[in-house]
Amino acid sequence: MFPLSPFAQRAAPSARLAALIASFVLVLAACSAGSAASTSPTASTAAVATPTPLLTAAPTPSPTTVPAFPTTLTDDEDTAVTIPAEPQKIVSLTPASTEILFALGAGPRVIATTEFDDFPPAAVALPAVATYTTVDVEKIVGMEADLVIAGGNFFNPPEAITRLRSLGVPVLVVYAPNLAGVLKDIELIGSAVGLSAEAKAMTATMQAGIDAVSAATAGLVKPRTFYELDVSTGPIYTVADGSVYVEMIELAGGDPITTGSTADFSIPLERLIAADPELILLGDAAYNVTAEQVKARSGWNVMTAVKTDAIRPANDVIITRPGPRLVQGLRELALAIHPNLVLPSAAPIPPVP
């Protein structure tokens, strides 16, 4: 380690601390890439119960696309955000928000995104103003952005959000702890950019898609499912209690094996063996983890899933990206858990013009 911090310059416990820090950050970067949906016990319990009204200061959303600006919206951190006019220079600081903006048709008004945006291709080409740890406030101010959409639950540094607001840039903070939260965020972003009718149409389509998957898997036997996020650094990272993964796996017809805690993201091997997964889904398949590697791991051969060869890849990015492709992710997850499942065809999101 280079002397990262004063801790790293000293003796053994400090070096271990530095290694701990580094591994944590790697894990964050590797497995929660682009997903603001990491678990937060308080936020998720709060939001599960409230499919609440969305707008505070726009009581009658007009049926036309004529936007009502100025408008004041309450974001996911309960901050009242006033947007004076229809935003023309939008900065998106989370990949999911970027996807939402483009799916709604506000893509041409997006002027900057993050360096880890990967979809749609038009968004990847835009200038990047955020990394995993920083937000370039100077650049955003220099671009004269008139709306910034940021990730809550520490996805973007709260410091940078406060800073932008103090400089007069409206910042809408979104954080979806569950599926209902994703739909709510799509409508929130729709209202912020003057496309609330489009947003409502999209969430209605998405809800129908979710309901279709849920109905298709309703009568099926739910296999005990272990969803692997990452094992490359040693600990076995998987689904924490209360996370959006739990909801997704249950909807897709699985019985998720969790870490047993909302704050713990790793599961001890003995707990996993005791839970005896009937199905292992490799969310880290994109990082070249294969079923053969899983079978070769010491101690794993006692699990039913390994004995019966029920180890399948899962497209983690789509499954966990809290945006318009969520229904697609849910369908893929359902097919990964029940390969013989027949799903009714679903309306594409975003709608094909």
Partner 1 sequence: MTTRGGTLTTARPRVGRLGSVRDRPVLLVGLGFVALLVALVLGVGVGSVTIDPADTIAILAHRFLGLDIPQTWTDATETIVVELRLPRILTAMLVGCALAVAGATFQGLLRNPLADPYVLGTASGAALGAAIAVLIPVRFVILEFGLIQGLAFIGALASITVVYKLSRNSGLAPLTSLLLTGYAVGSLLAAALAMAMYLSGAALRQIFTYLLGSFDAATWPRFLATLPIILIASIAIMLRARSLNGLLLGEQAAAHLGVDVRRERRILLALASLVTAAAVAISGLIGFVGLVVPHVVRLLVGPSARLVLPLSAIGGAALLAYADIIARLAGGIPVGVVTAILGAPFFLVILRRARTGYEV
Q: Does 9 bind partner 1 (CB under 8 A)?
A: yes
Measured in residues, the chain has a length of: 353
CB of 139 vs partner 1, minimal distance in Å: 5
Interface segment toward partner 1; rule CB under 8 A; list 147-155, 287-295, 308-316, 321-329: 147-155
CB of 90 vs partner 1, minimal distance in Å: 16
x/- track of binding to partner 1 for residues 69-88 (CB under 8 A) = --------x-----------
Q: Does 19 bind partner 1 (CB under 8 A)?
A: no
Phi-psi region of 288 (alpha: psi -120 to 50; beta: other; left: phi over 0): left
Burial of 43 (0-12, 13-18, 19+ CB in 10 A): buried
Gyration radius from the chain CA atoms: 21
Which C-beta is closer to partner 1: that of 135 or that of 248? 135
Cis peptide before 158 (omega within 30 of 0): no
196-217 helix and 95-104 helix, angle to the nearest 10 degrees: 110
Contact positions with partner 1 (CB under 8 A) in 23-52: 24-25, 28, 32, 38-40, 42
Q: Distances in Å between the alpha carbon of 80 and those of 41, 76, 171, 192, 341? A: 23, 10, 10, 12, 44
CB of 135 vs partner 1, minimal distance in Å: 8
Which residue is listed with tokens 């880290």? Answer: 284
Q: Does 131 bind partner 1 (CB under 8 A)?
A: yes
Q: Does 138 bind partner 1 (CB under 8 A)?
A: yes
Q: Does 263 bind partner 1 (CB under 8 A)?
A: yes
Which C-beta is closer to partner 1: that of 177 or that of 190? 177
CA distance 150 to 130: 10
Q: Does 142 bind partner 1 (CB under 8 A)?
A: yes
Angle (CA) 301-306-307 rounded to 5° is 85
Contact residues: partner 1, CB under 8 A: 2-9, 13-14, 17, 20-21, 24-25, 28, 32, 38-40, 42, 77, 131-134, 136-139, 141-144, 153-155, 157-160, 162-163, 166-167, 263, 265
